[in-house]
């Protein structure tokens, strides 16, 4: 008989044994932070000090890592998305197609530029935007498509790029959860007109907070620079020491969404460890895929063009088809008790998310009928709803452990699922 689940008083699979911590400071991170601390320049808006800023150095390093022409660091992934949308010409009343299953920022950033997010179904296996559903959602008001590489999957970029090109739409690639992943041999983030990244505390490349927008289009990069620095950008030549480095061009009004020098210095150090950590996560995920598949579970898949997966979250579908959100929540709670590792259901569909409610902020009531266009209650998308009920996820830090840790995760699933009736009945 299977051991009693820890949530019902049994001995946990991992009693008292810790998981790898996150974030993990890279070698040299402390020295880089101290260098900024004593440099007299903590912001790119500070007077020029005679050497390139850490922000500029990170931008160049990240662009080279991705193989793209331009990188503009930002204060957050949200800031990167909002500046990307505006740089691509999205504005008041325009529609932007976004995946129905994603973090709240996929919708709130669109609303934040006075546009209208239009939710489209996801692929049931990858949980990423379904190209056919995206194309079906296009109307004369559509201005852009935002594709999200979710958890560990890369979306079908070939098909989505073709849809965008067919209809003359901007394609914005939200790669906040996919630093270092590749599709057909190219880094993700480089297939869209603009690619965006988050460097939030939880991400595989992190400075606590932060983000970046990348593009091969010099004009788009210049617009993003202005949008994130109060309408200023770097001049063509360095100024004299002590003078401002950012030039007030008057080209485009912006806001202050800049990355600090501390964050930039930290990211330069962290970038050097990214590939090695991604390789460890990938190897452990491959093993865990096999162990969980043997139990009848369904690890998240990725699109066929993927040539390298990265893991922001490990996501897996439970082995039964029809059950409600309370069931998956109970299973997640039981797994957390077994492992001492937070296991959660995946994101709720955006139209059902408590974090997406434009009516709660008066600033979005910009004209007759606009709030009605934003009303999430007008959507019913069963694939996304079913995925939210059936998939669970946990943070990538657990994949930095040993092979034995993957066996612990598999044992926890075996023990909990063997007692499913007791958990969900």
Distance CA 169, CA 160 (A): 10
203 is a catalytic site residue? yes
Q: Name the CA dihedral angle for 195, 196, 202, 207, rounded to a multiple of 10 degrees.
A: 110
Given a contact cutoff of 8 angstroms between Cβ atoms, the answer to whether 78 and 227 are in contact is: no
Helix axes 77-87, 105-112, angle to 10 degrees: 50
Residue in this structure with the two tokens 């030039």, named with its chain if needed? 247
Give the sign of the dihedral formed by CA 267, CA 309, CA 383, CA 167.
Answer: positive
CB atoms < 10 A from the CB of 217, how many?
Answer: 16
> What 3-state DSSP class applies to 59?
helix
Exposed, middle or buried: residue 71 (CB in 10 Å: 0-12, 13-18, 19+)?
buried
DSSP state letters, 179-239? TT-EETTEETTSSSSEEEEE--TTSSS-SSS-EEEEES-HHHHHHHHHHHBTTEEE-SS--
Catalytic annotation, pick one of 184, 187, 203, 272: 203
- Catalytic site residues? 203
């Amino acid at each position: 008989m299977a051991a009693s689940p820890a949530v019902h008083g049994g001995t946990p699979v991992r009693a008292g044994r810790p998981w790898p911590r996150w974030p993990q400071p890279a070698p040299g991170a402390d020295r880089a932070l101290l260098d900024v601390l004593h440099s007299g320049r903590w912001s790119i808006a500070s007077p020029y000090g005679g050497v390139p800023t850490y922000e500029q150095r990170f931008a160049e390093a990240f662009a080279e890592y991705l193989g793209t022409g331009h990188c503009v660091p930002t204060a957050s992934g949200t800031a990167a998305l909002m500046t990307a949308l505006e740089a691509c010409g999205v504005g008041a009343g325009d529609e932007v197609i976004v995946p129905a299953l994603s973090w709240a920022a996929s919708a709130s950033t669109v609303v934040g530029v006075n546009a209208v997010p239009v939710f489209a179904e996801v692929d049931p296996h990858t949980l990423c935007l379904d190209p056919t559903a995206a194309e079906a959602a296009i109307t004369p008001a559509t201005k852009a498509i935002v594709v999200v590489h979710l958890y560990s999957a890369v979306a079908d970029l070939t098909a989505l790029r073709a849809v965008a090109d067919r209809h003359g739409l901007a394609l914005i690639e939200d790669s906040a959860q996919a630093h270092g992943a590749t599709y057909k041999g190219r880094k993700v983030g480089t297939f869209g007109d603009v690619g965006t990244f988050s460097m939030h505390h939880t991400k595989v490349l992190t400075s606590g907070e932060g983000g970046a927008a990348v593009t091969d289009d010099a004009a788009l990069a210049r617009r993003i620079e202005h949008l994130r620095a109060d309408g200023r950008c770097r001049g063509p030549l360095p100024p004299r020491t002590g003078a401002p480095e950012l030039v007030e061009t008057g080209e485009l009004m912006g806001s202050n969404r800049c990355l600090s020098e501390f964050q930039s210095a930290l990211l330069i150090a962290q970038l050097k460890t990214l590939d090695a950590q991604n390789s460890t996560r990938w190897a452990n995920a491959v093993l865990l895929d096999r162990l969980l598949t043997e139990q009848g579970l369904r690890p998240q898949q990725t699109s066929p063009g993927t040539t390298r997966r990265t893991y922001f979250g490990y996501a897996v579908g439970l082995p039964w088809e029809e059950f409600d959100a309370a069931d998956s929540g109970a299973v997640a709670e039981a797994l957390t008790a077994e492992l001492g590792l937070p296991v959660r259901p995946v994101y709720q569909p955006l139209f059902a998310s408590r974090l997406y409610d434009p009516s709660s902020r008066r600033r979005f009531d910009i004209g007759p009928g606009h709030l009605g266009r934003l009303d999430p209650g007008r959507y019913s998308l069963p694939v996304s709803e079913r995925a939210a009920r059936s998939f669970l996820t946990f943070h990538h830090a657990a994949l930095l452990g040993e092979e034995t840790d993957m066996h612990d995760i598999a044992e926890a699933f075996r023990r909990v699922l063997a007692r499913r009736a007791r958990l969900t009945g």
